[in-house]
Amino acid sequence: MNIQGKTASEIFECVRSMIQARQLRAGDSLPPVRELAVALGVNRNTVASAYRRLVTSGIAFTQGRLGTIIRDPWRGGEQEGAAAETPLVDLADGNPNPAWLPDLGAALGARPYQPRLYGAPTVNPTLESHVRRWFAPDCPTPFEVDLTHGAVDAIERLLALELMAGDPVAVETPCFLSSINLLRNARLRALGVPVDGEGMQVEALEAALAQGARAVILTPRAHNPTGCSLSGKRARALSRVLARHPNVLVIVDDHFSLLSKHDYHSVLPRNAGRWALVRSFSKLLGPDIRVAAVASDASSARQLRQRLAPGTNWVSHLLQDVVEAAVTDPDNIRLLEGARADYVRRRQALEAALLAEGIACAGDGDGLNLWVPMPAGDREAAQALARVGWLVRHGDAFALGAPAGGLRITTARIEPEQCRRLAADLARILA
């Protein structure tokens, strides 16, 4: 491997040129730092600096004792969604049940469309008032309200305002698929913080902040993939930790808020300097409604509005009209209550079927998915389930560093008889 250079910048550019010339390919390992330093006659810190820049730029990644490896720039992460033309029962898609999504055509026709032009306020005044009333009990005051093109868009914009490539971000592990992809694409460094039945673990968050995490992304309810929600006690403990780091950006992704069976417990301390609470409408109205409401401190809101300006990139007022009509319609409010109860019932049916077969799962969970912890063999278990007709996701998809170890099963449309058969099949596989 003919890597040349006397400075970190020269070594970096040489490796990049070798990749462009196909002399280095995805999966190739770079020489150990000490070995390359000796070969080039430079200080090992010079090579280490070049390698860090390669990792920060997304060109390479480190894998412990395996060293620094060239990344495949075209390799995307796994995405939510149904498998195309699969003959299997798809319990991997992460989708809501279409039966509980409201008729947005009716919402669209509920009021005449009013054209808006460049320079109009970016948020409909009536929708803003509705969001303010919804968020007020859960936010530090004062706060500002904005709309983005979905929750992931909100998080990506907020991180881009504050962080640079290579900055560390504390995030739950196992981790939501979109968060993994977002951090990878933004070339941010994920610091995995384990979760348990009460949410993000306190000591692990402290450790991530001690490692220099500049932002924290946290799910208060219906964590995906485990389904766990923060307890009040855990939220208060996390808040005390975050209070000691007031300059760290805290993003609370309350994606399942309107449908959750659990109360909301805030982790935002009174002295929070930079924070945002994000609530999406996609679980209630359907994934195609790319709208999320964001409450944040005034400084973050000012920066966010520069990227959602009334002359360039605001959220469509037509979409806002649909959302406003849908979330305030009495029939849809009743539909929401039915959806909440139905999601709980289906999840509990699978929990009961698994426990009857002696299979432990993340009980009393929330959301559209159920997590079956497996210290080892989750990939093999998922493959074995596929051979008998079931499509689920194994833990590798949600892992940050260490294996996640588990199966994620989407429960939004599962039927009682399917629960019993799936549990029996999984019990035979594990036996």
pLDDT digits (tens, 9 = 90+) for 285-301: 999 999 999 999 999 99
β-bridge pairing 393-394 and 406-410: antiparallel
pLDDT for 81 beyond 90? no
Q: Is the pLDDT of residue 2 over 70?
A: yes
What does pLDDT average to over the chain? Answer: 91
The pLDDT of residue 75: 55
**CA pair distance 41, 366, nearest whole angstrom:** 57
Per-residue pLDDT, averaged over 354-383, amounts to: 92
Residue 74 has pLDDT above 60, yes or no: no
- Say how far apart CA 321 and CA 50 lie, in whole Å: 51
Q: What is the pLDDT of residue 311?
A: 67
**Is residue 313 over pLDDT 90?**
no
For residue 111, the model assigns a pLDDT of 79
Task: Place 71 in a pLDDT band, splitting at 50, 70 and 90.
Answer: confident
CATH 3.40.640.10 occupies which residues in the chain? 110-328
Rounded distance between C-alpha atoms, residue 70 and residue 26, angstroms: 5
Instruction: Determine what percent of the chain is predicted with pLDDT higher than 70.
Output: 97
Average pLDDT over residues 293-320: 89
89-98+332-430: CATH, from 3.30.1490.20, 3.30.390.50, 3.20.20.70, 3.90.1150.10: 3.90.1150.10
Least confident stretch, 83-87, 223-227, 248-252, 319-323: 83-87
Domain 110-328 coded CATH 3.30.2350.10: no
pLDDT tens, 98-156? 999 999 888 888 778 889 888 888 999 999 999 999 999 999 989 999 999 999 999 99
Regarding the domain delimited by 8-70, which CATH topology (the fold level of the hierarchy) does it fall under? Answer: Arc Repressor Mutant, subunit A (1.10.10)
Predicted pLDDT of residue 336: 94
From 166-175, 309-318, 405-414, the region with the lowest mean pLDDT: 309-318
pLDDT computed for residue 60 by the predictor = 84
- Residues comprising the chain, all counted: 431
Residues 118, 236: Cα–Cα separation, whole Å: 44
Boundaries of CATH 1.10.10.10 in the chain? 8-70
What's the rounded Cα separation, in Å, for the pair 150 and 382? 30
Please determine, for residue 46, whether its predicted confidence score (pLDDT) is greater than 90. Answer: yes
- What is the model's pLDDT at position 77? 62
